[in-house]
Amino acid sequence: MRVKIHHEGTNIIFMLLFILLMVNSTAYLILSYKVISYVFIAISVVLFLVVVNFFRSPRRHFKGDASDAAVSSVDGKVVALEEFYEDEYLHANVIQLSVFMNVFNVHANWVPVQGVVKYVKHHSGRFLSAWLPKASTENERSTVVIHTPTGHDILVRQIAGAVARRIVTYVEPGDSVGVEEHMGFIKFGSRVDIYLPLDTEIMVKLGDITTGGVTQIARLKQH
């Protein structure tokens, strides 16, 4: 599995590297007690590696049949799996499947289903913990709807959290998309919800760990 640094993190990483080099150089020159400067260096190295890890962007390949598959958009843990009335676009009872990302997960977001993008909308909102159920409707979020080859409209929602302050969505209405493509990125957060038809075959359970672009979370029935 090949890994590169996501372009969303390039400027942040270079800026952080410059600041850390300046801080540590200054500390080394002015501090007479060198042990303290070595502590600064150690902390800086750890901080830099954490940030680099956060912005890693592995290249992934889905090995199943993408025509009827729903694939996890993100790395994380399944924290919600329940019936839910979606009233922004679908206006129907659906299955809500939510995957929560911690700060150590890859934060690139993959397209969850093959199809054509019908709808994209960003919503301003709060920055509650993404773990909370009400984060789905109250937090800063971006909604994407994709029409699949099985005839379904699948809604996926990128949700900011208490730390995440920026959601980036790359797809636009009219785009033909596949499950190995990046849909967007959430900086320093948080959670992605996908809303599936009630007759969908769910292939994960609460607490399962998913890998974005790889783990099949559901199989859609032909509409």
Tell me, what's the pLDDT at 207? 96
In percent, how much of the chain has pLDDT > 70?
Answer: 93
**Burial of 42 per CB tally in 10 Å (0-12, 13-18, 19+):** exposed
Q: Is residue 204 part of a domain?
A: yes
Q: Is residue 63 part of a domain?
A: no
Tell me: pLDDT of 70 over 90: yes
Residue 25: which H helix or E strand, with range? Answer: helix 10-30
Mean pLDDT in residue range 55-63: 83
Q: Is residue 77 part of a domain?
A: yes
Place of tokens 């399962």: 208
Across the chain, mean pLDDT equals: 88
- Of 55-64, 96-105, 203-212, the poorest mean pLDDT is in 55-64
In percent, how much of the chain has pLDDT > 90?
Answer: 52
Tell me: pLDDT of 166 over 80: no
Tell me, what's the pLDDT at 218? 97
> What is the number of other CB atoms lying within 10 angstroms of the CB of residue 69?
20
157 and 126: one domain? Answer: yes
**174-194 residues labelled b (16+ CB within 10 A) or e (exposed):** ebebebbebbbbbbbbbbbbb
The CA dihedral of 216, 112, 89, 208, to the nearest 10 degrees, is 40
Distance, first Cα to last Cα, the chain = 35
* Domain termination residue (choose one: 58, 77, 100): 58
Model pLDDT for residues 7-32, shown as the tens digit of each residue: 776 788 889 889 999 988 888 788 77
81 and 42: one domain? Answer: no
**What token pair was written down for 79?**
């924290």
118 and 188: one domain? Answer: yes
Tell me, what's the pLDDT at 140? 87
**What token pair was written down for 218?**
């559901």
Tell me, what's the pLDDT at 134? 76
Tell me, what's the pLDDT at 163? 66
204 and 150: one domain? Answer: yes
Res. 188 pLDDT band, cuts 50 70 90: low
194 and 166: one domain? Answer: yes
* Domain termination residue (choose one: 58, 81, 97): 58
- Of 93-97, 102-106, 196-200, the poorest mean pLDDT is in 102-106
Q: Is residue 64 part of a domain?
A: no
Provide the annotated active-site residues: 190
Tally of domains in the chain: 2
46 and 85: one domain? Answer: no
23 and 117: one domain? Answer: no
Res. 40 pLDDT band, cuts 50 70 90: confident
**What token pair was written down for 113?**
């289903």
Place of tokens 């994209």: 120
32 and 127: one domain? Answer: no
Residue 50 structural domain: 3-58
Q: Is residue 210 part of a domain?
A: yes
86 and 187: one domain? Answer: yes
Cα-Cα-Cα-Cα dihedral sign, residues 65, 71, 74, 75: negative
Q: Is residue 183 part of a domain?
A: yes
Mean pLDDT in residue range 92-100: 96
Tell me: pLDDT of 171 over 70: yes
122 and 151: one domain? Answer: yes
40 and 90: one domain? Answer: no
170 and 86: one domain? Answer: yes
**Burial of 52 per CB tally in 10 Å (0-12, 13-18, 19+):** middle
CATH at 93: 2.70.70.10
The Cα–Cα gap between 216 and 69 comes to: 7
78 or 7, higher pLDDT: 78
